[in-house]
Structure 1
């Protein structure tokens, strides 16, 4: 299988149109069943107006990606990538379902959510092992890959869980996680295509297209939220794409916005627990800028731009002659 730019464009458009078509069907249905988002009381006050907005919208781009990837790139690599997306998406769906039933922003416990994510990561590892995967890391500057051997399993678990939760933390403003994820998957589509990893490129393109469609409903003011169903699915898929393209290290730069958002939470917790003082007005970082006085749209567009610059920098270092 080989892919040219025309084929990738077709995959992107098909995935985009599927989500665009499903939106008008899903939004009234989610309203009817009262699948509305519960807003944290400790969050910015203006977010309370978003309470009741339909959530679990991540199902739309998960379905679109699954169909498009199956239809245009039906291969073992594609199904391994879908395993990660669907596995983490199911954990997120359970979390969303409990929040809806309880009508408050409390779903799975942290332990339950971690157990579910670890389970998916271990299954992902076992599938790779069964297929004879070489558990190595390609590090910039090294002539040969670094073999991790038995240490690859804990690395993989941390890598996948960390990425999934980083995307989840970023999902706090209209279009923020969807837009930054679109940029990241588009970058991996280019990177994988450049390295002739056609199936990874096709899958990444399918995700990117579906996110463009989702942004039509998720842009400010959002008519649909992705929920943990979507954010965890995206994080799991993003980690899997990085692993199968052997670009784990480059995810740190391509997903720079996710990294910074996660670091802001970690630094806030460490600072408050050790000194009693907060570094930011609120974490994750996007809330800090909101409380400083930025409009929601300004925060989102600046973070999108940061994601684009990070991805372009990564592609420059990988593709340059």
Structure 2
């Protein structure tokens, strides 16, 4: 089956899954609570079903099991995606279904993320069929990190997962940015002749395109931490298994700019008592400046496309 048809099938399965999951999420009252300190325009989104990441995760799994080659690479990709998604699901379930606002504590969430990351790293590092050298852009050579490989990759995975989570703040933003980012990694996988990662990437693109039908402005469903942590797990696992984690800050430029805006805001406020941005993450800053939500989203899509083009030029 052609790659276009595989993407189309993943899209269709997402559309079907959406018709099933959205009414189910409404029935169990899995509605999003909007932060009172967030943009006032977002208050109308209160009660919109969340945990919608189940839609594209269902499509991704079914389509991969049908059309992809099951080997260690695919197992690790699916593991990373679903294990991080499970961490997010637990957090979502406690917050929106059990109505306990705190969900998982920061320490609990970080500990589970580290545990999942270490499992992925362990199987990659000690597998005889997978490389653990790191490809360095610009000089275009593989180097060994030796004993520093495990802590470095741990930092990359956990950082990426939480960066994708921070980006998920506007209708269609994280899903659309991730589609573009996955397109870049699909090209990389194809050029590296890694067909399992290539197919995984395009299948997830198709699944996210179907989800975006429901998630675009005005969103009928949010992905929740279930979806955003799962996408972070998928993107970071792809980069690690392709041995190109060093390209992530550029290829995932929007994720990391969003995270950097939060870090800058916190440091500035704690040290100087002043805010650099009207509101963080960065997408809220532009909203506070009067930008329409759709304008922010499409501008970030364009920026992510540019970041991916730069990444391609640096990498190849």
Give the structure-1-normalised TM-score: 0.94
Shift of 1:189: 0.6
1:238 aligns with 2:235: yes
| Distance (whole Å) between structure 2 residues aligned to residue 71 and residue 157 of structure 1 | 31
Kindly indicate whether the alpha-carbon contact (under 8 Å) linking 1:280 and 1:288 is maintained by their aligned counterparts in 2. yes
- The CA deviation at 1:47 is 0.8
Question: Helix, strand or coil: the match of 2:214?
Answer: helix
Per the TM alignment, residue 131 of structure 1 is displaced from its structure 2 partner at its CA by: 1.4
Counterpart residue number, 2:62 = 67
Per the alignment, residue 127 of structure 1 pairs with 123
Q: Which residue of 1 aligns with 2:264?
A: 267
Q: Which residue of 2 aligns with 1:182?
A: 179
Shift of 1:105: 4.6
In the other structure, the counterpart of 1:7 is 2
* Structure 2 unmatched ranges of 5 or more: none
Within 5 A, what are the aligned runs for 1:197-236?
197-236=194-233
- The worse-fitting range, judged by mean Cα deviation, of 284-293 and 244-253 is 244-253
1:45 to 27, 37, 40: 40
Equivalent pair of 1:16/1:211 in contact (CA under 8 Å): yes
Task: Please point out which of 25, 33, 51 is paired with 2:28.
Answer: 33
- How much does 1:60 deviate? 1.0
Q: Following superposition, which runs of at least 4 residues in structure 1 exceed 6 angstroms of deviation? A: none
Q: Which residue of 1 aligns with 2:151?
A: 154
The 8 Å contact of residues 40 and 105 in structure 1, kept in 2 or not, is answered as no
1:145 offset after TM fit, Å?
1.9
TM-score, length-scaled by structure 2: 0.96
- Which residue in 2 is equivalent to 1:91? 87
Is the 8 Å Cα contact of residues 39 and 105 (structure 1) preserved in structure 2? Answer: no
1:250, distance to aligned residue in structure 2 (A): 1.7
CA contact (8 A) 2:132 2:243 kept: no
Higher mean Cα deviation, 63-72 or 208-217? 63-72
- Aligned-residue offset at 1:91: 0.4
Q: Is the 8 A contact 1:58 1:230 kept in 2?
A: yes
Aligned length: 314
Query: CA-atom RMSD, angstroms?
Result: 1.4
- Paired residue for 2:18, among 18, 23, 27? 23
1:187 deviates by 1.1
